[in-house]
Structures are given as C-alpha cells and as structure tokens.
C-alpha cells in the first residue's frame, strides 16, 4: 500500500489533473455522468493484466528473443520499431514504451546505435500502432465505448491510417546504417505453465469485455482473480495513477464543456469534418489527445474526424500524448549523460515532421 501511494503522489500528471479537477468541482458544473465508467473499468482491467505480463517478464523476453536473431544495426532497429508498432496494438503504447526504452538502453551499451532517434521514432510508432486496435490506447477505448462502435466499424477507421503508418516505418529505416554486429543473447524465460495458461485465459476474457461481447465487470473480476493466483504483490505495482488521471480528465472536460464561451466556440468549430479534425489536432497539442477526444465527443457525432484528429494529434508536442511524457520520463530516469534536453529537442523535431506528414495523410483519408 505504501509503495502504491508513493507512486500515486509522485505522478506529476496526476497531481496537476487532480488540482484542475478540484477547481472544476468547486467553480464549475460537473455531473456524475461525465465519468465514463466503462472506459474506467476497461482501462483498469487492461492495466492489471499488463502488470501481470510485466511481472512475469514475458514482454521483455519476447523483445529480446526477436532481437537475438538480428545481425545488423538496421535489423535491430527494425525489430524495435515493429515490436513497438505491433506490440502497442495489443499491450497499449505505454507498455510498449515501458518495455522497449530499457531494452534500447541495454543494447546501446553493447553496440553503437543512435539512441535518441531510435527512442523518438519508437515512441511515434507506439502512438501510431496503438491507434489501430480498439484497446491500443485510452482514447480508442473511450471512443469505442462512447460511440458504441463495433470491431468492424472501428477497423474501418483505423486500418487505412495504420497502413500509411506501417509504410512510413519501412521507409524511415533507410536513414539508419546497416552495420554488421555480433548477435545478442537473451536469457531463458522461466514462467510456470499454470501461470501462463491462467494469464492467456484472462487476457481472452478481458479482450471480450473490451469488445463488449461480455460485461466489462467480468473482465475486471477475471484480471483481479488472475493477479491473486499468480502473485498478490502485483496489486502494488499496478499503475492506478492512470485510472485516477482519467477520472480527473472526465471531470475537467465535463466542467470545461459547460463554460458558455467554450461551449459556443466548440459548437462553432465542430460543424465540418475538416474543422473537427483540425480542432482535435490543435487541442491535442495543448491538453493531450485523450481529453481532446473526450471533450470533442460531446459536440459532434463525426467519429472519423475525431478519431483521425486525436490519432494525428498524438504527434507533435511532448504533451500531445501521455505516451510522449512517459518516454521523456523513462529517458531521464535511465540516462546517465545529462542528455535529456537533447532528447527533448530532437524528439520534438521528429514529432513535428511526422505531425505534418500525417496531417496531410489524415486530410486525404477524410476525403
């Protein structure tokens, strides 16, 4: 419990949103319905399951096992990008970053790779890859829940931009050297078979809940039971701060959306798909794409424009996506050469370039 509270109160994003939500409760108008409970329960179920995967070191083992087969620097970078892109689809962009940033640092100690460029692009492709599935990131979970989208409906939105993202991933590899390296060895995975089977079954139940085939509360119960079965100490490692931050987002957005001037402004700028798309991108740069999705969903039913806007809007500034902030925090914690400022500068440049590219791609997909 002490560890959990320490993590919660050291989360600056949570503390900032908590302060803002308190102001919203005191001076604004907030309704209980502002908090989307299905989104909250879905996130909690996923985060608990992800914590089990992390505890059993399964994600790290998979990444290291694939990297072991590479014999060039470009090959290793390709695997990192692919694992970030496809892994984020199923384990969220946050988990992809938490898993891969330490791996990149470990690799950089053994061979020479452009660490800042790799981590920056890896984060970009975690954001883009996570946008392809309904459970890849928080804003997708919310949009699927709020607009009652089926898996077919959602994939019709996500697959086109997913294809564009994958093509840019392959193209950007030509900017990295193809130097020969000695193969890296991975450690053997030792997970009890009964724990692995329980985790796979729980994952299936959680995904069924995310996709609304079963009530989401069943998914939450399954994830809690699996945690108790595997190791009760996992409860203390779950990032509850993300859940509380989301509750704060819902409260803040509910209050902001009822401010008369902002309400009128948003009604004015959500009349066409282009204006919704552009507003989603701009607002994401300032308040992050998750609250931007929640805010704009109250004013329009053009889900394709919101989806593309917050997907593209996750690129750009460091606050455009919570995953961006997480990448910066991870780099700062693991770096021992005081290069955080250089990372911030280069990370921003890469993101702005991708923001411009995907702004054009988003416009073409809208029309």
Q: How far is the CA of 231 from the CAs of 44, 78, 219, 225, in angstroms? A: 17, 34, 18, 10
Domain that holds residue 213: 37-45+191-238
213 part of a folded domain: yes
**What pLDDT does 63 receive?**
66
Give which of 18, 267, 72, 278 is closest to 182, Cα–Cα: 72
Report the DSSP beta bridge partners of residue 72: 180
Q: What's the pLDDT at 246?
A: 78
- The tally of domains found in the chain comes to 1
The C-alpha torsion from 6 through 44 and 85 to 330, rounded to 10°, is: 0
pTM: 0.78
List the one residue out of 44, 40, 132 whose CA is nearest residue 87: 132
The Cα 74–Cα 30 span in angstroms is 51
Q: What is the pLDDT along the chain (367 residues), one digit of tens a residue?
A: 666 676 666 667 778 888 888 888 888 788 888 787 887 888 888 889 888 888 887 767 776 776 777 778 888 899 899 989 998 998 788 778 877 887 888 777 777 888 899 999 999 999 999 999 998 888 998 899 889 998 999 999 999 999 999 999 999 999 988 888 776 666 666 778 899 899 999 989 988 887 778 898 999 999 999 999 998 888 888 878 778 887 888 888 788 778 888 778 888 888 889 999 999 999 999 888 888 898 898 888 899 999 999 999 999 998 888 788 878 877 877 776 667 888 999 999 999 999 999 999 999 998 7
41 domain residue, yes or no? yes
Output the six-digit token pair for 81. Answer: 């990008």
Give domain status of residue 220, yes or no. Answer: yes
pLDDT of res. 38: 81
Cα 357 to Cα 312: distance, rounded to the nearest angstrom? 9
Please indicate, yes or no, if residue 205 is contained in any of the structural domains.
yes
Query: How buried is 20 (Cβ within 10 angstroms: 0-12 exposed, 13-18 middle, 19+ buried)?
Result: middle
Are the CB atoms for 11 and 245 separated by under 8 Å?
Answer: yes
Q: Does residue 231 lie in a domain region?
A: yes
The answer to whether residues 281 and 309 touch, using CB atoms and an 8 Å cutoff, is yes
- Those residues whose C-beta lies under 8 Å from the C-beta of residue 84, and which sit 6 or more positions away, are 96, 97, 100, 122, 123, 125, 126, 129
Please report, for the chain, how many H helices and E strands are present, in that order: 18, 0
Asked whether the beta carbons of 314 and 286 are under 8 A apart, the reply is no
Identify whether 101 is part of a domain.
no
For residue 217, tell me if it sits in a domain.
yes
Q: Would 103 be classed as within a structural domain?
A: no
Is residue 292 within 8 A of residue 310, CB to CB? The reply is yes
């Amino acid at each position: 419990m002490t560890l959990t509270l320490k993590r919660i109160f050291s989360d600056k994003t949570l503390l900032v949103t908590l302060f803002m939500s308190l102001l919203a409760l005191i001076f604004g108008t907030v309704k209980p319905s502002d908090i989307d409970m299905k989104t909250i329960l879905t996130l909690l179920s996923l985060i608990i399951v992800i914590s089990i995967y992390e505890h059993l070191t399964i994600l790290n083992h998979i990444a290291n096992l694939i990297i072991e087969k590479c014999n060039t620097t470009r090959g290793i970078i390709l695997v990192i990008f692919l694992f970030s892109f496809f892994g984020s689809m199923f384990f969220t962009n946050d988990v992809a970053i938490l898993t891969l940033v330490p791996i990149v640092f470990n690799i950089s100690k053994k061979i020479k790779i452009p660490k800042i460029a790799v981590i920056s692009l890896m984060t970009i492709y975690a954001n883009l890859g996570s946008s392809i599935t309904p459970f890849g990131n928080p804003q997708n979970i919310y949009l699927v829940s709020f607009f009652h989208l089926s898996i077919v409906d959602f994939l019709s939105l996500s697959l086109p931009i997913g294809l564009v993202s994958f093509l840019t991933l392959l193209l950007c590899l030509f900017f990295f050297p193809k130097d020969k390296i000695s193969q890296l060895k991975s450690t053997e995975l030792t997970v009890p078979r009964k724990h692995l089977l329980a985790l796979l079954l729980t994952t299936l139940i959680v995904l069924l809940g995310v996709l609304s085939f079963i009530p989401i509360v069943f998914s939450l119960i399954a994830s809690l039971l699996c945690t108790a079965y595997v190791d009760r100490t996992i409860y203390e490692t779950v990032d509850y701060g993300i859940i509380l931050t989301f509750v704060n987002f819902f409260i803040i957005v509910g209050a902001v959306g009822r401010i008369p001037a902002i309400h009128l402004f948003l009604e004015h700028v959500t009349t066409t798909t282009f204006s919704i798309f552009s507003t989603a991108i701009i607002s994401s740069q300032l308040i992050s794409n998750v609250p931007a999705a929640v805010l704009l969903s109250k004013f329009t039913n053009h889900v394709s424009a919101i989806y593309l806007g917050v997907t593209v809007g996750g690129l750009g500034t460091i606050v455009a996506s919570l995953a961006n902030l997480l990448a910066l925090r991870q780099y700062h914690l693991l770096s021992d050469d005081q290069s955080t400022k250089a990372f911030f500068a280069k990370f921003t440049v890469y993101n702005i370039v991708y923001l411009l590219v995907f702004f054009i791609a988003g416009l073409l997909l809208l029309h």
